[in-house]
Structure 1
Amino acid sequence: MTFDRLDLVSKLYQPSGWPRVLDAAAGRRTTGPLVVDLDPTTFCDLACPECISGKLLNQGRFTPERLAELAEELISMSVRGVVLIGGGEPLAHRGTRQVLRMLGGAGIAIGVVTNGTMIKQNLDELAEYASWVRVSMDAGTSDTYRKFRPDRKGRSVFDKVTGNMRLLAEAKKGALGYSFLVMTRREPDGTVISNHHEVLEAAGLAHDIGCDYFETKAMFDDGHHVIQVSEDLLRSVDDQLAEAERRWAGDSFEVINSSTLTSLRSRVGAIQPKDYHRCQVAELRTLITPSGVYVCSYHRGNSQAKIGDAVTERLPDIWENSDRGIIDPTRDCRFHCARHRSNLELEKIAEGAVTPELGPDYDPFI
């Protein structure tokens, strides 16, 4: 079935999640989240200068035993989808393979966001159980990769990662994505470097590797505001994406771009104002990390958005006792939020302003 991976509003209208969607829309507490972002570890083997989680890295991990317990708790809470993400590099945790087996064996959909360096060590589980794996690449050549995604010794592991992706492309049951974050940096000597000129080359490489999609995104600052770019740079990216569409887009390969890139095109600015005081999506999706459980991934590490400690507390207890309304979007979420439209849709559902038409279950990652 063909679907828009980024159409989060349409994903609300799926039968298995609909009872909890109705509860969230009505302002009622849900029995558990539908989707969980899970950081197994804060360790990462790369040293990306633009890493938005840079200040949170290498500060802890779940023990393998606790990570397995978390998987059991997620299963017991009837979570429909889990995204292994970070924070750090999720495949760097030696317990991740078991989590993939446990969640996948229980029928929970699994997404993985990875830098790709450790795909080979986790290949069997990723190929068998992952609904999708998205590899953060941000380059089309080894030299540009080294500038934006160096390892801890400043080297490029571009060839290693692309080789790992080819292995997964041959074995996978789910989808494989090539993620390209458009970045520009001013060096101390005033030199400006960018990766935007390699969008077309990277898309071609993604197609050659056997990826199912190529995704382009805009860059955030530390506060998750979309960083604005020049008209020339945006035009260059758009021209390359159009050419990539012309050359390679088809039934087995998609060229997609996130809502952040769309916001740059429409010049809405870095601020996304919101006029609702409670995020109802927080009843449907949450973030679990070694440092705490947070209302969402945008607030990773924010003590004001922490609702529990998954190291010492059981997830069902955290969900039963926590206040998911501790964040006020009008005040605390003025950045661009991918789920803003979902919150607006939940308001319409609550008001009876839409007539629900539930389709089949096709993608739980709301």
Structure 2
Amino acid sequence: MQVYSPSKFVHFPDHIAALRAGRVIAPVHVRIKPINRCNHACWYCAYRADHLALGEDMDLGDRIPDDKMKEIVADLVGMGVKAVTFSGGGEPLLYKSLPERIRDLAEGGVRVASLTNGSNLKGRMADAFAEYGTWIRVSLDAWDDRSYAKSRSIKEGAYTGLMQNLRDFAKRGSPCVLGVSFIIDETNCGHIADVCRQLRDVGVGHVKLSAAVVSNDVAENNVYHRKLAGVVAAEIEQARRLESETFRIVDHYHEMEDRFEKSYGSCPYLQFLTVIGADCAVYTCQDKAYTESGKLGSIAKQSFRELWESDALRERVHALDPSKRCRHHCVSHAKNQALHELLSLDPDHVPFV
């Protein structure tokens, strides 16, 4: 069974019907960025890298107050949201009351996941994800203590600690899927197979391979990664030999041709996935979080439900024109293209499959 697919939206016909009717209904999936503080400083982090035009308005001191987080969780459960992913911003597992909110979401029928650096995947945090989580994915860009310390500006020894956290979590035998997102750049491209072997040996279920975004310019990104392509291809071929029924390589490493250019005038996918930031603002997506152009409204003095069901939000959703306002990296680009094609079909001709 696959866990990654750009076609998951087809399983939510009510949302497709709402798009056709011009209505806005509760999102399927909400990303929550509970805290902007992070204990790592990854050079490629879109929210911190000076050379990437994302997260330009982020305040590193922001965090969602505990009472507001409880309110958000209650709203999401009440609105029928299906899934929540905790991510950065900062390192979500540094948010102390996260285990209790994970429990509340799960008991309310909402599936829970997290993107994390894994440094705090232990103790109460690990307990909560092992019991209630659907998946957890750890970001990685190094192959040993020295390279890990250098890429993240942290003390040596943290890589060994991370591997122990992964090993301990895997030993729990939890149904929570444990994966790693390996971000490929010119320094680590020759170590892909070795890292995948290490991760398999500690019990990780899959490794997702992705290209580091090094520039706002698509051509610069492609030139950078084209130089690495031969080495990366050989390493991925070696890594695939490690695959088994319990370990998979998910190859998302590719060039970004046309990925920053948008030919469509609306973003239907934001009604499937939206983002709540640590500043208590709601954003269209993770790529536009902490930017004024991506802000849909604030929930500092109102609830998420009040904002989401308001006329003002509906107007902002319908006013968003990606061809003008989203000329940057977009993780939902292919999904938006597929949705626009689906929505453009003449219903009289659909039966002619």
TM range (shorter): 0.7 to 0.9
Q: What SS does the aligned partner of 1:297 have? A: coil
Partner of 1:86: 88
User: In 2, Cα distance between the equivalents of 1:348 and 1:230?
Assistant: 30
1:273-288 to 2 correspondence within 5 Å? 273-288=261-276
The gaps in structure 1 that reach 5 residues or longer are 185-193, 357-366
**Post-superposition offset of 1:89:** 0.5
Partner of 1:342: 335
- Which TM-score applies when normalising by structure 1? 0.85
2:282 counterpart of 1:293: yes
Partner of 1:256: 250
Q: What SS does the aligned partner of 2:317 have? A: coil
**Post-superposition offset of 1:181:** 0.6
Cα displacement string for residues 321-356 of structure 1 (whole angstroms, at most 9, x for unaligned residues)? 212134311122223423222222222332336959
Single out whichever of 231-240 and 90-99 deviates more from structure 2: 231-240
1:148-227 to 2 correspondence within 5 Å? 148-151=151-154, 154-171=155-172, 172-184=174-186, 194-221=187-214, 223=216, 227=221
Which amino acid is 1:128 matched to? E
Which amino acid is 1:85 matched to? S
Q: What SS does the aligned partner of 1:79 have? A: coil
Cα–Cα, structure 1 residues 51 and 347, in superposed 2: closer, same or farther, change >3 Å?
A: closer
2:134 counterpart of 1:140: no
2:9 counterpart of 1:12: yes
Which amino acid is 2:233 matched to? D
Q: What SS does the aligned partner of 1:19 have? A: helix
**Post-superposition offset of 1:59:** 2.4
Which amino acid is 1:147 matched to? K
2:128 counterpart of 1:125: yes
Which amino acid is 1:312 matched to? K
Cα–Cα, structure 1 residues 353 and 62, in superposed 2: closer, same or farther, change >3 Å?
A: same
2:343 counterpart of 1:315: no
Which amino acid is 2:177 matched to? A
User: In 2, Cα distance between the equivalents of 1:95 and 1:214?
Assistant: 29
Task: Decide whether the 8 Å contact of 1:304 with 1:326 is kept in 2.
Answer: no
User: In 1, Cα distance between the equivalents of 2:225 and 2:32?
Assistant: 35
Q: How many residues align?
A: 332
The gaps in structure 2 that reach 5 residues or longer are 49-55
Cα–Cα, structure 1 residues 213 and 136, in superposed 2: closer, same or farther, change >3 Å?
A: same
Cα displacement string for residues 179-215 of structure 1 (whole angstroms, at most 9, x for unaligned residues)? 111124xxxxxxxxx1211111111011111111011
- Which TM-score applies when normalising by structure 2? 0.88
Partner of 1:363: none
Task: Decide whether the 8 Å contact of 1:249 with 1:255 is kept in 2.
Answer: yes
Instruction: State the identity as a percent.
Output: 24
Cα–Cα, structure 1 residues 280 and 230, in superposed 2: closer, same or farther, change >3 Å?
A: closer
Partner of 1:35: 29
**Post-superposition offset of 1:158:** 0.7
Which amino acid is 1:119 matched to? L
RMSD of aligned Cα (Å):
2.1
Cα–Cα, structure 1 residues 20 and 230, in superposed 2: closer, same or farther, change >3 Å?
A: closer
User: In 2, Cα distance between the equivalents of 1:276 and 1:233?
Assistant: 32
